Amino acid sequence: MELIDTDLDALLSAIYSRYGYDFRGYSRAHIKRRVLQRLRLSELDNIALLQKKVLSDTHFAACLLRDLSINVTEMFRDPGFYRAVREKVIPLLRTWSHIKIWHAGCSTGEEVYSMAILLKEEGLYDRVRIYATDFNQVVLEQARAGIYPAERMKNYAWNYQRSGAKAAFSDYYHAQYDSAIMDPSLKKNIVWANHNLVTDSDFAETHMVVCRNVLIYFNTELQNKVYGLFNGSLVKGGVLCLGRKESLRFSNYSDRYSDMDKDQKIYRKNYRYE
């Protein structure tokens, strides 16, 4: 089935005015793929019928919203990123007496618990407050609970070992039946909050922003808007971490940052912007 841009525009505007979620600046290729998939699964004949159902059926709308915001994540995803954080970012974080970290688009929380483990091992966790945000309340609740299927732990342990591990991954969770419950000590300094990168404002005086595998779904204009939000949030000399497939390079903010790790997309905000 062919999807016409004007029909997609109408669908996204309808979602925005009815539910307040603004997907108009998301990458068109991503939106098209997800809408087509939902059309196939729901056996609807065309996008006009889908729009009608989205507006009248809140359960169906929730399904589509979930489709549009991909929540895939894992503990110590891209272990090389965590190795680079240990080697290059931790020495800088040590220079601050209180450290504020913002994980934007944290999904079900695996990335946040991974960072908490790393900070604990580096002796910094007690100095840190982590703000972990997402615009999807369902994943945020799962993140807050910190309970994951036990079957995933083998893969997570493997990632952890390759990330420069200092202990055994099983030290950080308690196994109960088919679940792994994250150690409560990891939650102590984490604040979970609903925040929409498209419509909400910045977090002042942040030392490190981690936003990985989120901007990949946004178009260039929206990416620049969100980079502006991060730039307004970060202190001078603060650190911005993006996903492997994302880059500040061609954005409006590229000359305000220097590379800390080119491969792992870790940037440092310059003290002076010329």
Ligand X SMILES: C[S@@+](CC[C@H](N)C(=O)[O-])C[C@H]1O[C@@H](n2cnc3c(N)ncnc32)[C@H](O)[C@@H]1O
Which residues are at the interface with ligand X (CB under 6 A)?
69-73, 77, 105-107, 111, 134-136, 139, 196-198, 212-214, 243
Closest approach of ligand X to the CB of residue 131, in Å: 12
Closest approach of ligand X to the CB of residue 217, in Å: 6
CB nearer to ligand X: give 101 or 139: 139
For the four alpha carbons of 179, 182, 183 and 188, in that order, the dihedral sign comes to negative
CB nearer to ligand X: give 71 or 224: 71
**Which of 235, 191, 233, 190 lies closest to 95, judged by CA?**
235
CB nearer to ligand X: give 44 or 228: 228
CB nearer to ligand X: give 176 or 196: 196
Q: What are the b/e assignments for 39-72, b being 16+ CB within 10 Å?
A: beeeebeebeebbebbbeeeebbebbbeebbeee
Closest approach of ligand X to the CB of residue 97, in Å: 27
CB nearer to ligand X: give 38 or 77: 77
Region for residue 187 given its phi and psi (left: phi exceeds 0; alpha: psi -120 to 50; beta: otherwise): alpha
**Which of 214, 207, 216, 210 lies closest to 115, judged by CA?**
210
Closest approach of ligand X to the CB of residue 107, in Å: 3
Residue 157 and residue 131: Cα distance in Å, rounded? 25
CB nearer to ligand X: give 31 or 126: 31
C-alpha angle with apex 115: 160 to 246, nearest 5 degrees?
A: 90
Between the alpha carbon of residue 39 and those of residues 1, 3, 57, 74, 205, the distances in Å are 9, 11, 15, 28, 44
Closest approach of ligand X to the CB of residue 214, in Å: 4
Closest approach of ligand X to the CB of residue 48, in Å: 25
